[in-house]
Amino acid sequence: MEIKTIHQLEKQAYKKSHAELARIGFALFFLVLVLGFSFATSGGVPNNLFLAVATVFGAYMAMNIGANDVANNVGPAVGSKALTMGGAIVIAMIFEAGGAFIAGGDVVSTIKKGIIDINGFGQDADSFIWAMMAALLAAALWLNMATFARAPVSTTHSIVGGVMGAGIAAAGFTIVDWGTMGAIASSWVISPLIGGLIAAVFLFAIKKTIIFRDDKVTASIKWVPIYVSIMAWAFVTYLVLKGLKQIWPQLLAFGNEWLFFNFEITSKPSFINAAAMGLLVAVIVFFLVKKAVKNRLPTLKNDRDSINVLFTIPLIFAAALLSFAHGANDVANAIGPLAAIHDAVMTGGISAKAGIPVWVMAVGAFGIALGLALYGPRLIRTVGGEITELDQMRAFSIAMAAAITVIIASQLGLPVSTTHVAIGGVFGVGFLREWMDEAVRLEEEIRQDKLEIKDEKRLLSALRSELNTLQVKKTKTVDDYQRITELYRAIDEEKAALKKAKKTLKKEKKILYVKRDMIKKIITAWLITVPAAAVLSACLFYMIKGIVG
C-alpha cells in the first residue's frame, strides 16, 4: 500500500514538473519571438540593442501583469462557481487583449503618474533609457515574486516604484515628486477601505431585501432587476471613463458621421456623458432582467441557491467588462516605459508622451493574455477562494465595489488601485458575513457553552463526590485506592479537555470567515511593493550603467 502511494506521488510530481516546464517553455518562446521581431524591425538604428532588450523586459512585465493583476477581475467569479477556471481564462484573455488593442490608445505618458520630473534627465537620453529598462525589469521581477507567493499586488504600484527607484539612482532624490508619491501611498489605505465598504453595503442590501425575506422568489423578482441595472449603470460608466477614454474622440466622430448625431468632439468623456450612457443601458437592462427572472419562475425555489443563480450571468459580464477596462488601462504599465524607450531610441531625445507603435501594443496585449493563461490560475484561486468563501451574491457585490469605487475616486481625484479595491471588496464581504452572523452564532454558542458547562459541572461534581466518599472511608481496599487514582486522572482529563475545547472554539471564531493569515500576507505585500520595486530598480540601473556606461 505504501509503495503504491509513493508511486502515485511520484507520478503527480512528474506531471507537475512537466506542466511547469511547458509553461516556462511557452514563456521563453514568446520572449525570444519578441526579441527577434524587435531586432528585425529596428536594424540599423543606433541603440537598437537597448530597444530589443527593453522589448523583452516589456513582454516579461506584460506576462506578469496577466499572471497577477487579472486575477482580481475574474477571481470572484471563479470562486463563486459562476465561471469555471478555463472559461474565466478564455474570457479574460479575449477581453484583456481587446481592451489593450481597441482602447489602449496610441499615445502614452512616458513617466507613470508623473512621479518623477522628466527634466531631471536633461538631454541624457542614455540615462533615461537605462532608467526605464531598470524600472520595467524591477517591476516585472517583483510581480513575479508576488505571484509565486500568491500575493495579489498592484502592478501600477510596482511600475511606480520601479520608475521612482531608477529616477533616484539616475538623478537623485530631487527628481521625485514627493507630493504625488504621498497621494499614491494614501491609496494603500483608501482603496481597500472604500472597496470593502461598498462591497459590504451591497451584500447587506441583498441579504436584507431578498435572502432574509420569507418569500425570496417574490423579493428576487422585485430586487434582482434593480441590482443588476445598477450594476449595468456602474459598469458602462466605468467602461466609458476608464476603458474608452483613449478612443473617445473617434467614437464621437463615428456617431456624428454615421449615426447623424451632433456631438461636440472632446478629448475625453466627462462624467455626465458616461453616466448618461450608463443610465440608458441600465434602463434597458432592467426590463430585460425582469423578464428573464419571470421566465425562470417555474425553476426557482425559495432558497438561497436559487437566488444565487440569478446573479451568474451578470457576474460573467462583470468579469468581461472589468477585463476590458483593465486591458485598456493597465497595458500602459508594461508598454509605457517600453514606448518611452522606443521613442528615445528612434528620436534621440526624451519626451513626456510617446506614440505607441502597433507592435509595441501587441507585445503588451499578447503578453498579458499569455501570462494569464500560463500562471493566472495561481492568483485566481487565491482571490476567489483562499481569503474567504464566495458565492454569486458576494462576488457580485465585489464586482460592484470595483466599478463604483473607481468612478467615485476618479471624480474626487483620489488615487486608487483596482487591485486594492477588489481585494478590499473580498475582505469587506468576508467581514460582513462575520458581523451579520455574529449575533446568531454567539447566541447559539452561549447556549451550547451553558449546556456543556452544566454537563461538565455535573460530571465533575459526581466524580468529586465519589472521590470524597472513598477518601473518608476508614478501611480502604486495593480496589478503592485504584479507583481514587482513576478519579483523580478522570478529573484532570475533564478539566484539560474543557480548556482545550474552549481554546479551539475561540481560535475557530477568529478565522471562520476571513483568513487572518492571508490578510497579513497581502497587506505586507502591498506595503512593501513600492519600496521593494524601487530598491530593486535602483540596483538594476547601476548594474546596467556599469555594464554599458
The span from the CA of 504 to the CA of 506, in Å, is: 5
Q: How far is CA 458 from CA 396, 452, 463, 497, in A?
A: 50, 10, 9, 15
Is the pLDDT at 57 greater than 60? The verdict is yes
With pLDDT > 70 as the criterion, what percentage of the chain qualifies? 87
The percentage of residues in the chain with a pLDDT greater than 90, rounded to a whole number, is 30
- 526-539 residue pLDDT tens: 889 999 999 999 99
Mean pLDDT is lowest, of 182-191, 203-212, 246-255, 323-332, for 246-255
Question: Which of the four pLDDT bands, split at 50, 70 and 90, describes residue 449?
Answer: low
What pLDDT is recorded for position 488?
80
Note the pLDDT of residue 98: 87
**Of 10 and 480, which is predicted with more confidence?**
480
98-152 per-position pLDDT tens digit: 888 877 766 566 565 678 888 888 778 889 999 999 999 999 999 999 998 888 8
Per-residue pLDDT, 1? 47
Confidence check: pLDDT of 428 > 80: yes
Length of the chain measured in residues: 549
Closest CA to 394 of 321, 312, 509, 326: 312
HEC assignment per residue over 347-415: HCCCCCEEECCHHHHHHHHHHHHHHHHHHHHHHHHHHHHHCCCCCHHHHHHHHHHHHHHHHHHHHHCCC
**pLDDT at residue 64 greater than cutoff 60:** yes
Average pLDDT value for residue range 142-171: 91
Instruction: Answer for the pair 509, 99: CB distance below 8 angstroms, yes or no.
Output: no
How far CA 241 is from CA of 103, 250, 407, in Å, comes to 11, 15, 8
Q: Which of 221, 367, 223 is nearest to 297 (CA)?
A: 221
Tell me the three cell numbers of residue 443. Answer: 447566541
Q: What is the pLDDT of residue 494?
A: 75
Mean pLDDT confidence for 141-168: 91
**Distance (Å) of CA 191 to CA 197, 230, 291, 409:** 10, 21, 36, 9
Is residue 356 within 8 Å of residue 480, measured between CB atoms?
Answer: no
Confidence of residue 340 (pLDDT cuts 50, 70, 90): confident
Specify the higher pLDDT residue, 178 or 102: 178
β pairing state of 353-355 and 107-109: antiparallel
- The pLDDT, as a whole number, for residue 161 is 93
* pLDDT at 248 exceeding the cut of 90: no
pLDDT in tens, 354-409: 777 888 888 998 999 999 999 989 899 888 888 888 889 999 999 989 888 888 87
Contacts of 150 (CB under 8 A, 6+ apart): 378, 379, 382, 386, 521
pTM given for the model: 0.79
In terms of phi and psi (left: phi > 0; alpha: psi -120 to 50; beta: otherwise), the region of 114 is left
Angle at 515 between CA 512 and CA 521, to 5 degrees: 170
Nearest to 368 by CA among 68, 53, 20: 68
Say what the pLDDT of residue 109 is.
63
Q: How confident is the model at residue 511 (pLDDT cuts 50, 70, 90)?
A: very low
Q: How many CA atoms lie within 13 A of 406 on its CB side?
A: 25
pLDDT score, position 272: 87
Mean pLDDT of 175-196: 86
Among 14-28, 50-64, 97-111, 159-173, the range scoring the smallest mean pLDDT is: 97-111
Q: Is the pLDDT of residue 415 over 70?
A: no
How confident is the model at residue 113, as a pLDDT? 60
pLDDT value of position 241: 81
Region at 47 (left for phi over 0; alpha for psi -120 to 50; beta for the rest): left
Please tell me which residue, 154 or 2, carries the higher pLDDT value: 154
Query: 109 - beta bridge partners?
Result: 353
Cα–Cα distance between 71 and 88 in angstroms, integer?
9
The mean pLDDT value of the chain amounts to: 83
- Is the predicted pLDDT of residue 2 greater than 60, yes or no? no
pLDDT value at position 490?
A: 81
pLDDT given for residue 244 in this prediction: 74
The predicted structure's pLDDT at residue 505: 56
Can you give the pLDDT at residue 108?
A: 61
Terminal C-alpha separation, the chain: 63
Any idea which of 20-34, 137-151, 352-366, 479-493 has the lowest mean pLDDT? Answer: 479-493
